[in-house]
Copies of this chain bind each other. A is one copy, B any other.
């Protein structure tokens, strides 16, 4: 069943699924993405598999959970929101006093009406998350906490889609699929990734090979890097972490660690010309898988274009990051920005002008034959020679667009004209 074709509809279908680092919620999510992207491969990595400094944890699954109060009233039920349960909670069936319960209750004093999203992946414990105002009103008495979860040797699940191109040079696109019921700070990523993949599959030719990965955050990128590090270091020319791409409030940029990779160049060029009011963060404000992709010794050229960044919107990591926060136009804006980046990368080459000295454009009907000031064709001819003037093998098309202070996409036709006339040749 494919949704009605909108990105928001896909997000809506994925929203209720309880995703985590591992478990059936991740599998179910990937199977739904597979409906859109039949080439998506789903990989399973056994618990205990090492990934550099880390190890794949036990697989977590949950069927239900409920916290009831002294009068039998339901305080929190997993059925209502999978955020009510602390991620990776151990199974429990206990009666306990409010005092004994308190260390297992989580709420946010500064966001009193929302359920916080909290996990404890690497220390065994259990807990419930509720709105702070509800938390404040709990009265003394006997509470019952039931969590019907399992934590045992299993697998970590991730998806991978390779869209081949004319060269083995790769663009990496990475989205995460481990947050339960988070709209901007999760589903916007895999949903935009899916649409981007469909767009690329629809192109008649691609210079780059595209590698999409759908992984649990952090441990997923580490697992993926540990399996493919040499290949990725050799082939990936640019990459993007796809996250927070769905709201309508901002465009923003998170650089790679060193800040001057091809990915950064195209992201900054695109945002500068399409969204001049965008926000620029520093790498010190990072928070997703660029942490691993850019780690010293890994050094992949990976940055992010986002709408409103994780940590920068009040709904972040709470039940308020819901389907009303992301919009079709918000998702479309994120998709467009990334599609523009990829289009620029496809066209971005180092060229060499083939003539010594300016070519005679008039004999190719590329120049007004009469020297009247501002004659028709004057400006387009000027654009042609301005482009060629920097085609010295040391400036790529993005550099030239930056020198000319024009969007790269306004140069594509001119470059094609020059190629068609044999006046440029690609050099790398």
Please report A residues at the B interface, Cβ cutoff 8 Å.
Answer: 51-54, 86-87, 106, 108, 116, 118-123, 125, 218, 221-222, 225-226, 229, 257, 283-284, 291-292, 294-299, 317, 352-353, 355-360, 362-363, 369-373, 385-386, 388-393, 403-404
Q: Which residue on chain B has the smallest CB distance to residue A120?
A: B370
Also in contact, A257 and B389, with CB within 8 A (given A357-B292, A358-B218): yes
Query: A389 near B358 (CB under 8 angstroms)?
Result: no
Dominant SS among interface residues on chain A: loop
Query: A356 near B229 (CB under 8 angstroms)?
Result: yes
| A134 vs chain B, min Cβ distance (A) | 17
Also in contact, A297 and B372, with CB within 8 A (given A123-B362, A257-B389, A360-B54): no
7 examples of A-B residue contacts, CB within 8 angstroms: A53-B356, A54-B357, A106-B372, A123-B362, A225-B357, A292-B358, A297-B353
**Cβ of A116: which chain B residues have Cβ within 8 Å of it?**
372-373
| A49 vs chain B, min Cβ distance (A) | 14
Also in contact, A284 and B404, with CB within 8 A (given A292-B358, A297-B356, A298-B357): yes
- Once bound together, how far apart are the Cα atoms of A388 and B119, in whole Å? 25
Query: B357 near A295 (CB under 8 angstroms)?
Result: yes
**Cβ of A359: which chain B residues have Cβ within 8 Å of it?**
53
Query: B357 near A53 (CB under 8 angstroms)?
Result: yes
**Cβ of A283: which chain B residues have Cβ within 8 Å of it?**
389
- Once bound together, how far apart are the Cα atoms of A243 and B167, in whole Å? 49
- Once bound together, how far apart are the Cα atoms of A317 and B370, in whole Å? 13
- Once bound together, how far apart are the Cα atoms of A131 and B124, in whole Å? 84
Also in contact, A221 and B357, with CB within 8 A (given A120-B370, A370-B123): yes
**Cβ of A222: which chain B residues have Cβ within 8 Å of it?**
357-358
**Cβ of A403: which chain B residues have Cβ within 8 Å of it?**
284
- Once bound together, how far apart are the Cα atoms of A174 and B42, in whole Å? 68
Please list the 8 inter-chain residue pairs (A to B) with the smallest Cβ-Cβ separation, ordered nearest first: A296-B392, A123-B369, A292-B357, A53-B355, A53-B359, A52-B356, A222-B357, A122-B362
- Once bound together, how far apart are the Cα atoms of A362 and B356, in whole Å? 57
Query: B120 near A371 (CB under 8 angstroms)?
Result: yes
**Cβ of A389: which chain B residues have Cβ within 8 Å of it?**
257, 283, 291, 294-296
Also in contact, A296 and B362, with CB within 8 A (given A118-B371, A225-B356): no
| A199 vs chain B, min Cβ distance (A) | 30
Best-surrounded residue of A389, A391, A403 (most CB of chain B within 10 A): A389
Q: Which residue on chain B has the smallest CB distance to residue A295?
A: B357
**Cβ of A121: which chain B residues have Cβ within 8 Å of it?**
371
**Cβ of A385: which chain B residues have Cβ within 8 Å of it?**
291
Q: Which residue on chain B has the smallest CB distance to residue A219?
A: B360
**Cβ of A356: which chain B residues have Cβ within 8 Å of it?**
52-53, 225-226, 229, 295, 297-298
Q: Which residue on chain B has the smallest CB distance to residue A317?
A: B373
- Once bound together, how far apart are the Cα atoms of A122 and B404, in whole Å? 29
Query: A363 near B52 (CB under 8 angstroms)?
Result: no
- Once bound together, how far apart are the Cα atoms of A352 and B297, in whole Å? 9
- Once bound together, how far apart are the Cα atoms of A372 and B110, in whole Å? 13
- Once bound together, how far apart are the Cα atoms of A359 and B386, in whole Å? 49
**Cβ of A352: which chain B residues have Cβ within 8 Å of it?**
296-297
Apart from A106-B370, A226-B356, list 19 A-B contacts with CB within 8 A: A53-B355, A53-B357, A53-B358, A86-B370, A118-B371, A122-B369, A123-B362, A222-B357, A222-B358, A226-B357, A257-B389, A291-B358, A291-B385, A292-B358, A295-B358, A296-B352, A296-B390, A297-B353, A297-B392
| A289 vs chain B, min Cβ distance (A) | 10
- Once bound together, how far apart are the Cα atoms of A116 and B375, in whole Å? 13
- Once bound together, how far apart are the Cα atoms of A283 and B395, in whole Å? 15
**Cβ of A373: which chain B residues have Cβ within 8 Å of it?**
108, 116, 317
| A359 vs chain B, min Cβ distance (A) | 4
Q: Which residue on chain B has the smallest CB distance to residue A394?
A: B296
**Cβ of A291: which chain B residues have Cβ within 8 Å of it?**
357-358, 385, 389
- Once bound together, how far apart are the Cα atoms of A353 and B298, in whole Å? 11
